[in-house]
A and B are shown apart, each in its own frame.
Chain A
Amino acid sequence: MDLETALGDPAFDLPVPPDGLTRVRRQATRIRRRRQLALTLPAVTVVAVLVSLLAGNGSSRTVLYGNQSATPQPTQSPEPTPTRGPVDQTVQTLCDLPPGDHNSGRSDTDGPTGDPIDNCTRFWRYSLHSEPPALVAYQDKFGSVIVQPKADPLPSDAVVLAAGATQSTEAIELDEALGDQIGLGPDHCRTRQEAINDATRVVDRVGIAGWPIHVDDGRTDLAKPQCWGFAASPRHHYVWVVATDGGYDYPAVLEQIAKPLRVSLTECWSRAKALAEVQSAVARSSLKQEFKDLVYIRQVDEPDTKCTVIHMGGGGGIEFTLRGPV
């Protein structure tokens, strides 16, 4: 008997468990969740919850720009009514990429614009090294903006955004700063006053005028203990501070990356220097390679500024935005 025959002996066949594929499906769901949750920054999770609340719904669905999610919508809807004009309910966009291995190491040189399809197209090219198919942007029932391939089924309550629908770039920048782990330090469960202080500090640092702090003491449905968070509300044009029931489990590896980058708060870095430092911090960290591949670095050219501001946030991956001079 040769080795091939011996190893291929049908006696080594094991019975396929009758619920095998069901277990595979469950585990696949856990893998997707774990990939997202492992790197979902708590502050950003809070922001996402707030975004849902701002849209008048308490859903805890995490909706983050650049998130890697591929939950197919089950049914094809009738043709939704397109809307035009500014997208005023939410800041963050879910760019619904197909799951799989993403690649990092390069950086995207065009920062976020107000066009969610344009943002997602660039993210797609960067992450998957391929041209995306035709994309469609819609708002879901929570007011969140989702971008996905046109060929994928839409949820029945989707409101498709017509070409030209825009998000406020000012709100996007403010929202980035409100979820930033470098400027705000390691995330933690904030008291009401800490949340007000931090939100005020961010608005001052970003230097955006006309965005007052609005403290919402109206939530009575939360079980204690409560943590307080904040988010930009483009609809109301204020920074909303409110109690949440979010949990806080700040991954140590994120602090490994953020800590050396806090030097940029006191030193004046060029964008090239900032990019090198970000890449170095990620490389030196104990972040597993599969998550390093989910790191996304955007650069925004701001020729009138002298120093580069680095924002670190994200969900499902780590996203850096470098705003500064060339």
Chain B
Amino acid sequence: MTPAEEFEAWATGRYGGLLHAAYLLTGDRDTAQDLVQTALAKTQVAWRRVHTSPDAYVRRTMVTTHTDWWRRQPWRERSTATLIDRSALGDSHGQIDDRDALLRALQDLPPRMRTIVVLRYYLQLTETECADLLGCSVGTVKSTASRALERLRAHPTLTSKEHC
């Protein structure tokens, strides 16, 4: 298998999961697709060096790219009234309100907090892995995650739903 084929096989298997994570990070379908595309493209460029542990590399790339976008485009941080694309969820039952609320609450977290929540509780990285990926101490991950959970619990859209 050539490196290109190896990359494509790996990327095909990861694409969906990365999109899910990117959607949680960005709250926007198009931005999520752009983010995954960019992270995978950077991973492909680095493939010969990172092919033994590409998952860690692509996660790091996705997080740093997302952070970079936020820094450069602060307008993205504004909350919008139409955060969730209901049609994308393919669900018209009551649960959609829960998801809507969760996504909205996530988007109201500061970017770093949101990233830690996604890394810890969706991608299920350990605190040490999060710290390594974000370039901070384990203590910072712990305290940030803790504050993030508090804020989610206190978020108006989630106060009656016991998500956390």
Contacts and interface: CB of A to CB of B under 8 A. Distances in A.
Interface majority SS (helix, strand, loop, mixed), chain A: helix
A6 B98 contact: yes
A24 B45 CA distance: 10
Interface of B: 2-4, 8, 11-12, 15-16, 19-20, 23-24, 29, 32-33, 36-38, 40-42, 44-50, 88-91, 95-96, 98-99, 102-103, 117-118, 121-122, 124, 149, 152, 161-164
A218 interface: no
Interface string A21-44: 101110110111001000000000
Interface of A: 1-4, 6-9, 11-14, 16-17, 20-21, 23-25, 27-28, 30-32, 35, 70, 72, 98-101, 128
Contacts of B37: 20, 23-24, 27
Contact of A3 (B23, B29, B95, B121): B121
Contact of B99 (A12, A30, A32): A12
Nearest to B48: A98
A11 B95 contact: yes
B48 A28 contact: no
A70 B46 CA distance: 10
B44 A25 contact: yes
Contact of B20 (A14, A27, A128): A14
Question: Which 7 pairs from chain A and chain B are nearest by CB?
Answer: A100-B49, A98-B48, A27-B41, A7-B122, A28-B44, A28-B41, A100-B46
Contact of A8 (B3, B41, B44, B122): B122
12 contacts: A1-B163, A4-B124, A6-B98, A7-B117, A9-B99, A12-B23, A14-B20, A14-B33, A24-B11, A25-B41, A99-B46, A100-B49
A4 B122 contact: yes
A108 B118 CA distance: 42
B43 to A, nearest CB: 8
Nearest to A130: B49
Contact of A17 (B33, B48, B161): B33
Contacts of A72: 2-4
Contacts of B49: 98-101, 128
Given A24-B44, A100-B46, A13 B11 contact: no
Contacts of A2: 163-164
A2 B102 CA distance: 11
A128 B12 CA distance: 28
Nearest to B46: A100
B99 A3 contact: no
A167 B3 CA distance: 32
Nearest to B44: A28
B24 A16 contact: no
A49 to B, nearest CB: 25
B142 to A, nearest CB: 15
A72 B48 CA distance: 11
Nearest to A70: B48
Contacts of B99: 6, 9, 11-12
A6 B20 contact: no
Given A12-B20, A72-B4, A99-B49, 14 more contacts: A3-B117, A4-B121, A6-B102, A11-B91, A16-B19, A17-B33, A24-B37, A27-B41, A28-B45, A70-B48, A98-B48, A98-B49, A100-B46, A100-B49
Contacts of B38: 27
B16 A13 contact: yes
A14 B4 contact: no
A28 B152 CA distance: 37
A13 B98 CA distance: 15
Contacts of A32: 45
Contacts of B24: 7, 12
Nearest to A10: B20
Contacts of A12: 20, 23-24, 89, 99, 103
Contacts of B102: 6-7
Contacts of B88: 14
Nearest to A9: B99
A4 B20 CA distance: 13
Contacts of B29: 14
B72 to A, nearest CB: 13
B27 to A, nearest CB: 10
A73 to B, nearest CB: 11
